[in-house]
Structure 1
Amino acid sequence: MAVHYHEEDLPAGVLADGPVAVDTETMGLVTKRDRLCVVQISDGNGDEHLVRFGPNSTYDAPNLKAVLGDPDRLKLFHFARFDLAAIEYYLGVMAAPCYCTKIASKLVRTYTDRHGLKNLIEEVLSGTISKAQQSSDWGGPELSEAQREYAASDVRYLHRLKDELDRRLEREGRTAIAQACFDFLPTRARLDIAGWAEHDIFSHA
């Protein structure tokens, strides 16, 4: 298991075929204001790849974009809504089809309101991750070892989480509704970018 660090693009050919786990680190939570700094990606075989973008980046990352935009490759996220918006806004690709472990958790772990990645890993996989670097400065010229490990851990467990959550979705008869939610996520992300992040367009109000 190793964490690989890259500047501005993912090297060609470093990922195996099949689903990839993806996460992003940004300067904040407002997509148009807070630039994309890091994209983490893993094929689930033990290595994680971190792609850092500098403050003057043109986000010209053809290898990374090819993976993220591949319509035949499933992308796994935790809270996909945010990551999809950041990826489309800065990299210009919609990372679909996608799967969101947070949505899957909310559909099957209705006995709790704790759906953070750390909570999921602890309960479902009996593992632990640190969230100490979650609010650190991702825009600096270098990523610290602690930041690199934090970023890598955010994609390290998503393949295994999907497998277990899929079993629970099937057990509870909620696989189809989960898939419908995943299919809608690109539209939800585009609504966020377009200005409807805080408005529920399906509500009566």
Structure 2
Amino acid sequence: MSDYSVIDDRTEFEKACTLLAAGEGPVAVDVERASGFRYSQRAYLVQMFRRGAGVFLFDPPAIGDFSALQAAIGDVEWVFHAASQDLPSLHELGLYPASIFDTELGSRLLGSDGFGLAAVVEHALGIVLKKEHSAADWSTRPLPQSWLEYAALDVLYLIDVEEILSAQLAEAGKTEIAAQEFHATLVKPPRAPRVDPWRRLSGLHKARGARQLAVARELWTAREQYAEEVDVSPGRLVPDRSLLAAVLAAPATKTALSAMKDFNGRASHTQLDRWWDAIQRGRTTDDLPPLRLRGDAPPPPRSWSDRNPEADLRYKAARPVVEAIAEELHMPMENLLTPDHLRRLAWEPPEELTAETVGKALTELGARPWQVAYTAQKIVDAFVEGPQIESDAVEAAS
């Protein structure tokens, strides 16, 4: 096994950029973050491999400006495994590929068994990768050599895998499908901020009434602000269960909060004033949150038979049809059509049911042309025939 070092100064960085620019073919790329340890999702290590150049491990906090790397390889194809996870962190560094190949997504489209990097590499090349450092704190400095070897292997075989998957996609007639999926991943806009993100607090359903929800909101917000300030994962400061315990126990004084056995975590006592102030804000605010948010998404399908029987019939007729198409194409159903797209369409279909109107609705929801081509007419047929079959059955029974 080779010894690897982290590039953390301008001179070595510029040498690496020159070598990568002179390399051949696509560039394999991976990113290591410190999820679960740090608040930010910034890249703490960027790994790259290109034939004729070698493997390079870049230290983003030390390097800072990556414009020379963008200039060196920005116009060639970048090969990822699960690109959607890495692109946002790369964008923060000013790194934008012109085109991508995603080995995870390609494996899904081929219906392979197992989509993780280790499974894909083993399936394609027969090489077994160990993934023992996948959840490591990559903000650690210096990084142990075993971690660097792990990080290098994440890109070392990706080009070989890409060549094999490309041939398999071509043999399966899925090259254009893959191209549309890769492009959609590349241009996908950032996710819109979640409305009331504090409602993600684990166990929040145990809170009773708007006042307890207000306390939960203020505690969660105070923890987020402090976590961002010190760049530590919120749960490492005060776990969700501790915040919820404080909400439910409703301590009468700061001393009582401090004495709570269930209110723990590394910052539970060092930042006691912060948490007590948040509780007080929640108890006194006039800005009480609604008990539930009303989103634009349909309710869970299990309730449709009572709330919207026709939608229930449409969904129950169309879902197995889409499942059958996915099985015929040898890919997971969610890669053929996002499940939420089908639910929204069944809940509120176009007034005129045609392949064109359904295809337009699917496109507006984010479906790609190949998905529309495979599913639109079949969904129309199911939407029309499903309720009709039910109606005929009722008439026959009467």
Same-fold call, TM cutoff 0.5: yes
The one-letter code matched in structure 1 to 2:130 is S
How far has the Cα of 1:123 moved from its partner?
1.5
**Alpha-carbon deviations, 1:92-129, whole Å to 9, x = none?**
23223111000110011x152x1111001111101011
In structure 1, C-alpha distance between the alignment counterparts of 2:193 and 2:63, rounded to whole Å? 24
In structure 2, C-alpha distance between the alignment counterparts of 1:93 and 1:31, rounded to whole Å? 22
Larger radius of gyration: 2
Find out whether 1:5 has 2:1 as its counterpart: no
In structure 2, C-alpha distance between the alignment counterparts of 1:64 and 1:129, rounded to whole Å? 28
Aligned residue among 61, 64, 68 for 2:69: 64
**Alpha-carbon deviations, 1:118-149, whole Å to 9, x = none?**
00111110101111111111001211101100
Find out whether 1:191 has 2:180 as its counterpart: no
In structure 2, C-alpha distance between the alignment counterparts of 1:187 and 1:32, rounded to whole Å? 25
In structure 2, C-alpha distance between the alignment counterparts of 1:29 and 1:86, rounded to whole Å? 15
**Alpha-carbon deviations, 1:43-76, whole Å to 9, x = none?**
034721000123xx573122223245x23x0000
Q: Is the 8 A contact 2:24 2:52 kept in 1?
A: no
In structure 1, the residue matched to 2:115 is 115
5 Å-filtered alignment, 1:4-153, equals 4-7=5-8, 10=13, 11=15, 12-15=17-20, 16-28=23-35, 33-45=40-52, 47-54=54-61, 59-67=64-72, 70-71=74-75, 73-88=76-91, 90-108=92-110, 110-112=111-113, 114-153=114-153
Structure-2 change in CA distance of 1:201 and 1:123 (3 Å): closer
In structure 1, the residue matched to 2:170 is 170
In structure 2, C-alpha distance between the alignment counterparts of 1:66 and 1:142, rounded to whole Å? 28
Q: Is the 8 A contact 1:27 1:137 kept in 2?
A: yes
The one-letter code matched in structure 1 to 2:181 is C
Structure 1 runs (4+) greater than 6 angstroms displaced: 29-32, 199-202
TM-score, length-scaled by structure 1: 0.83
How far has the Cα of 1:6 moved from its partner?
0.2
In structure 2, C-alpha distance between the alignment counterparts of 1:181 and 1:96, rounded to whole Å? 15
**Alpha-carbon deviations, 1:143-193, whole Å to 9, x = none?**
1101100110000011100111011101110000000111111222x333x
In structure 1, C-alpha distance between the alignment counterparts of 2:68 and 2:53, rounded to whole Å? 20
Q: Which runs of 5+ in 2 are unaligned?
A: 195-296, 298-337, 345-398
How far has the Cα of 1:85 moved from its partner?
1.3
Of 38-47 and 59-68, more deviation after overlay is shown by 59-68
Secondary structure at the aligned position of 1:142 is classed as: coil
Q: Which runs of 5+ in 1 are unaligned?
A: none
In structure 1, C-alpha distance between the alignment counterparts of 2:156 and 2:63, rounded to whole Å? 28
Q: Is the 8 A contact 2:24 2:51 kept in 1?
A: no
Alignment length (residue pairs): 194
The one-letter code matched in structure 2 to 1:152 is A
CA RMSD of aligned residues (A): 2.7
- Normalized per residue, which structure has more strand? 1
Structure-2 change in CA distance of 1:62 and 1:34 (3 Å): same
- Normalized per residue, which structure has more helix? 2
Q: Is the 8 A contact 2:103 2:165 kept in 1?
A: yes
